[in-house]
Amino acid sequence: MPSLPMPITDVFVALADPRQTNKVQHSLAETLTVAVCGILVGADTFEEIQAWAQEKLPWLRRYLELPNGIPSHD
């Protein structure tokens, strides 16, 4: 019986988050997932990743929570 593929966010959940907790607005796993997806569709810069993600926000929210929207390219 074939196994189900692992959600990409599960790969990133195990990473230690070096950011200051009180300054975090976006999940590290979700931020990295958005970045990887953007790169896979051809985005070459942080600005292009953000623009793609803003355009695809409804689709991304089918898979990610993104309670504070798309992270800034900064």
pLDDT tens, position by position, 2-12: 788 888 888 89
Angle at 38 between CA 35 and CA 41, to 5 degrees: 150
pTM of the model: 0.89
The string of pLDDT tens digits covering residues 19-70 is 999 999 999 999 999 999 999 999 999 999 999 999 999 999 999 999 999 9
CA 74/CA 61 separation, integer angstroms:
21
